Every structure is written in C-alpha cells, then in structure tokens.
C-alpha cells in the first residue's frame, strides 16, 4: 500500500496554485477568520505549511534515509510558524510556492525505490511509520488544509445563505 511517488509529487506540486487561486488578492474579511479559538485561518494555514516545508516533511524523509528508526523524528510544532498577521497573503503564497518547489525537486532527485518507501522511521507519538506513509501523509495533509480554508471561507456566508444552509454540508461540519 505504498503511494506512487510520481503521483504524490504531482498532487503536492499543485497545492501552491490551488491556494493562490483561492486566496490571492481576496478581501481581508475572507481570510481574517478562523473556526474557533486556537484554529487556523487562511494565513495561519499558509504559515503552518511553510513551517512544514522548512522543518517537517523533508527533514523526516532525510532522517529515515539516513538513520531509519534509530532516531525519532523531531516533534513538529504545528503552531511554530510565528505571527503571520502582518505578512501579506501574497508574500506567504510566494514563500510556500518557493519552498515547496525546492523540496519537490529534492525528493524527485532521490528517485525513491519501493524498498526505500518501506523503510521505517520513528514518530515521537505514533511509533513506527514508513517513508511511504510519510509521503502519503504529506499529500493528504495538504488537501486537509485546503479543505480547512474552504470551510473558513464558507462560514463567512453561513448566515447569508438563509434556509439553504441545510443543503450545504460544508457549513455543518
């Protein structure tokens, strides 16, 4: 049940364009929102994705290739991205795109084999995980956060849709 590396890289390569299409130049009222205390609004999502490109996905891939499960992953601080409030969304989009592109070039250059995808690392909380699982998680993590951005945007019209609300699952999750 290993992911196809080429497919995974294809999907990962699209996320910056998807988020740009959704968020670039959008009035701030659409992005200055969250789903509740401690949750991410769109700028937080971008900060979190940028932080993941810097400290999470590729460092963990390298660690598995270099040390297997002998050394656990460094725990990832999902809020470790610092304040993003005063950074324009465009700047965050550019930075995410740049880092993602470089990381995918690095991973593509590894030409990961099926036996490498089966190599195990050690997650500080989840225990043993494979490189293939890490790669699949990177993909789904992206899609999960794009869905979060869509929920936050939808909530802006949560009341404005009136009685249609009950047909719109995204407002009721």
Residues that bind a copy of itself (CB under 8 A): 1-3, 7, 10-11, 14, 17-18, 20-22, 26-27, 29-30, 123, 126-127, 129-130, 132-133, 136-137, 139-141, 143-144, 146-147, 150-151, 153-154, 157-164, 168-171, 173
Q: What is the DSSP letter of 27?
A: -
Q: At closest approach, how far in Å is the CB of 171 from a copy of itself?
A: 7
CB closer to a copy of itself out of 105 and 150 = 150
Terminal-to-terminal C-alpha distance of the chain: 30
CB 155 within 8 A of CB 165: no
Phi, psi torsion values for 122, nearest 5 degrees: -125, 115
Q: At closest approach, how far in Å is the CB of 67 from a copy of itself?
A: 19
CA distance 67 to 132: 16
CB closer to a copy of itself out of 65 and 146 = 146
Q: At closest approach, how far in Å is the CB of 93 from a copy of itself?
A: 12
CB closer to a copy of itself out of 116 and 137 = 137
CB closer to a copy of itself out of 102 and 168 = 168
DSSP string covering 74-93, please? PPP-TTTT---TTS-HHHHH
Q: At closest approach, how far in Å is the CB of 57 from a copy of itself?
A: 12
**Tokens describing residue 86:** 């005063």
- For the chain, the 3-state helix, strand and coil shares in percent, each to the nearest 5, are 65, 5, 30
Q: At closest approach, how far in Å is the CB of 92 from a copy of itself?
A: 17
Cα 8 to Cα 2, 30, 98, 103: the distances in Å are 11, 30, 18, 13
CB closer to a copy of itself out of 83 and 166 = 166
| Residue that is written with structure tokens 């701030």 in the block | 28
């Amino acid at each position: 049940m290993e992911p196809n590396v080429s497919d995974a890289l294809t999907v990962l390569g699209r996320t910056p364009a998807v988020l740009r299409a959704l968020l670039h130049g959008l009035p701030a009222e659409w992005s200055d929102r969250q789903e509740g205390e401690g949750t991410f609004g769109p700028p937080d999502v971008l900060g979190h994705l940028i932080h993941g490109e810097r400290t999470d996905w590729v460092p963990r891939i390298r660690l598995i290739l270099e040390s297997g499960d002998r050394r656990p992953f460094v725990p990832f601080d999902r809020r470790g991205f610092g304040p993003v409030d005063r950074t324009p969304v465009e700047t965050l989009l550019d930075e995410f795109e740049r880092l993602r592109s470089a990381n995918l070039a690095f991973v593509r250059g590894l030409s990961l084999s099926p036996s490498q995808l089966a190599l195990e690392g050690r997650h500080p909380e989840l225990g043993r995980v494979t490189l293939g699982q890490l790669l699949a998680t990177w993909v789904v993590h992206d899609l999960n956060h794009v869905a979060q951005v869509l929920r936050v945007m939808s909530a802006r019209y949560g009341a404005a849709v009136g009685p249609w609300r009950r047909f719109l699952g995204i407002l009721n999750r």
